Structure 1
Amino acid sequence: MHGEYKVPGGKLVVVDLDVDVDVESGTVGAAGTTGGVLRNVRVAGDFFLEPDEAILAINRALEGAPADTDAAGLAARVEAALPEGTVMFGLTADGIAIAVRRALAHATDWTDYDWQLIHEAPQPPALHMALDEVITAEVAAGRRPPTLRVWEWGAPAVVIGSFQSLRNEIDPEGADRHGIEVVRRISGGGAMFIEPGNTITYSLSVPTALVQGLSFADSYAYLDDWVLGALGDMGVKAWYQPLNDIATDAGKIAGAAQKRMVSDSGGAVLHHVTMAYDIDADKMMEVLRIGKEKLSDKGTKSAKKRVDPLRRQTGLAREAVIERMIESFRGRYGLEKGSVSEDEMGRARELVEGKFGRGEWTGRVP
């Protein structure tokens, strides 16, 4: 079995191993074994590790471990076995453990797929919500390749999370005054303030196999890693901030959310991210109700200080930032230009009529 995991902000960890199956049970489960143990464990990668013999200690620590040991248990084995004074660069015990779990889960890698790009004309906010659901369902069913969709917004909006209270999050008078449409997405998380020229939004619709062996929290960092690299190439030192933020020294620049879909073909994950290219903070504060409790865990007294736009940090036009992000993804994993099919668009419009454009959905949590 073979598993790979790039430690966010670090290096690639590769694990090859065999599993000795319990003779009595005789079975190996899809996400590991119920009775086997790890054998012939070999950890490799482009990380740095001192002293040299530490790699042998890591392999020995994992040898014979029950194959159903969780990531925390595997990481503990590694930590306990490291020689005194061991220094790891671009490598962590947790990262090694995740690579092992991905090997046992038969996880796929980014480069195993032919990625498709959708970057089309501006669409209404409610239609974007519907397109996310339709495209991810198509990936889940195996009828569409993994897809990176870069959004263009046809109107200003606030997008609230699936479980947020409409009245607690939105000032209706402020929204009406500024012509802001309020829509609810299918994923959890917080509200996003959208202005077409000031926002960069993208969705990844990926097979569940790509995040197999990762915890829910780890999958956020894993799916955000490429954009951290793209930002770094533009001179922005950014990092993943659990659970779902991308941040810099100057403040938050993006927020992510996920929704998982199950199908007979294995399912898919929707991972979408909204980035602040620029922002009218005064207008945002008139539309969103951001409570003191939410600000308290961000170490700031003002929502204005929470977001630091990419325009200032990059000095680039919004279109240039998007193009560099796309090219960074293409350089890493390959990316072919695609489009929304007529059938997908038709189904999305039906969802707008029956769900995303209706008050019953937007106000499902009053």
Structure 2
Amino acid sequence: MEAMTSHPAPEIPTNDGGSRLHGEFKVPGGKLVVVDLEVKDGRFANVSLSGDFFLEPDEALVDINAALTDLSADLSAADIAAAVAAGLPEGATLFGFSAEAVAVTVRRALSKATGWADHPWELIPPSVLPTQVNVALDEVLTEEVGAGRRNPTLRFWDWEEPSVVIGSFQSVRNEVDPEGVARHGVTVVRRISGGGAMFMEAGNCITYSLYIPQTLVDGISFADSYAFLDAWVMAALEKLGITAFYVPLNDIATDQGKIGGAAQKRLANGGMLHHVTMSYDIDADKMVDVLRIGKEKLSDKGTRSAKKRVDPLRRQTGLARSAIIQAMQEVFAERYGAQESRLSAEELAEARSRVETKFGTEEWLYRVP
């Protein structure tokens, strides 16, 4: 498979025979930020910030350009944002953007940060696989994208066996009731990302994984990256008549309650995993029989019952699970030009191998007893 991860930032010829770099960033829920600049001797020059944002006082635009001028092009997004913030006059107000948004835009101009449109996207529809293989694939495909051997990809899960998938740092004994697991024939699996446990039966939830290069979230805070990466999902749900939103850090909710949760993992090779499980039609009695959902975990959710936290998409949409997944796939494909693809034989073989050596072993499962 030939993979491509990004396109170079466009260069605009200048009168002196050099070139200007151009970057754009649409702030999630905010405004468009645009920057044009040059790099001379490794430093920013002739900086011009623009966009449809609001800024008071008006003169602060000059201050932002001045703050960026002569900065090293090797600075991180955090350092660029700090310089912009330090250069703002006291009392300046930024509407629809931030110093961090300016930093992302600058990094995009330098091709050190990328946008959705910079990548050729692939979409893998659901196919039934053992839960352990699904978890192993998350590691394998994230590595493949980080290494540039696979294009950024959205993959929908499917499975048959009842399972509990626990977070990378969770304790098995604290999260799972062994008697309930045995009674219901549940497979317990540990994933590579953090976050909480998921109870999964065939057809009871919708799970998808995004495998992306970390350049897509360069300069975006860890917390903000969740909503940024799931904006397409919110649009798909809106299309189905559901207004959903993020509850920090990683819960997805509607005005009727929580409907899902997200988790992430960043790898050293530049790949990143972002995956989400959303409730569709969960058997709440069985869930509380299998998971140890304690009062402390529920205390900050404003509810005393685990059952009240399960607010299935089936009830809110009246649609079949397959119809909801289809709507999600259509919105993603329309937004980002994603082409349908499939898992390669090599990727599946590697995932199955890792089940044998890692994800199916007691050493991995009980790494936090």
Aligned-residue identity in percent: 59
What are the equivalent positions in structure 2 for 1:1-366 lying under 5 Å apart? 1-18=21-38, 27=42, 36=43, 39-45=46-52, 49=54, 54=56, 56-65=58-67, 67=71, 68=75, 69-71=79-81, 74-75=84-85, 80=90, 82=92, 88=95, 90-91=96-97, 95-96=101-102, 98-100=104-106, 102-103=108-109, 106-263=112-269, 267-366=270-369
TM-score when normalising by structure 1:
0.85
Deviations 1:292-346 (A, max 9, x none): 2222222222222223211122221111110110110111101111111111111
Aligned-partner Cα distance in 2 for 1:55–1:229: 34
Aligned-partner Cα distance in 2 for 1:327–1:119: 11
Aligned-partner Cα distance in 2 for 1:201–1:328: 16
Deviations 1:105-152 (A, max 9, x none): 721111111111112421111000111111111111111111100111
TM-score when normalising by structure 2:
0.84
Q: Secondary structure at the match of 1:64?
A: helix
Deviations 1:48-104 (A, max 9, x none): x4xxx7495442231222545453663575584647xx8x4x555654454445546
Deviations 1:7-49 (A, max 9, x none): 333444333344566xxxxx4xxxxxxxx5675231214x5x4
Which structure 2 residue ranges, 5 or more long, are not aligned?
Answer: 1-20
Q: Please state how far the C-alpha of 1:221 moved relative to its aligned partner.
A: 2.1
8 Å contact from structure 1 (residues 254, 276) kept in 2? yes
Letter in 2 for 1:282: D
8 Å contact from structure 2 (residues 37, 44) kept in 1? no
Deviations 1:165-188 (A, max 9, x none): 000000011111112111000111
Q: Secondary structure at the match of 1:273?
A: strand
Which structure 1 residue ranges, 5 or more long, are not aligned?
Answer: 22-26, 28-35
Q: Please state how far the C-alpha of 1:254 moved relative to its aligned partner.
A: 1.3
Letter in 1 for 2:306: A
Q: Secondary structure at the match of 2:67?
A: coil
Aligned-partner Cα distance in 2 for 1:262–1:142: 13
Q: Please state how far the C-alpha of 1:216 moved relative to its aligned partner.
A: 2.1
Aligned-partner Cα distance in 2 for 1:269–1:292: 33
Letter in 1 for 2:64: L
Aligned-partner Cα distance in 1 for 2:351–2:89: 49
Q: 1:37 to 1:121 in 2, by over 3 A?
A: closer
Q: 1:340 to 1:281 in 2, by over 3 A?
A: same
Letter in 1 for 2:127: A
Aligned-partner Cα distance in 1 for 2:297–2:223: 20
CA RMSD of aligned residues (A): 2.4
Q: 1:324 to 1:364 in 2, by over 3 A?
A: same
Deviations 1:207-263 (A, max 9, x none): 121111222222222111111111112111111222211111111111111111222
Q: Secondary structure at the match of 2:353?
A: helix
Aligned-partner Cα distance in 2 for 1:100–1:254: 33
Q: 1:297 to 1:341 in 2, by over 3 A?
A: same
Aligned-partner Cα distance in 1 for 2:84–2:310: 37
- Structure 1 stretch displaced more, 65-74 or 252-261: 65-74
Q: 1:218 to 1:323 in 2, by over 3 A?
A: same
Aligned-partner Cα distance in 1 for 2:22–2:249: 27
Q: Secondary structure at the match of 2:114?
A: coil
**Aligned structure 1 segments of 4 or more residues deviating by more than 6 angstroms:** none
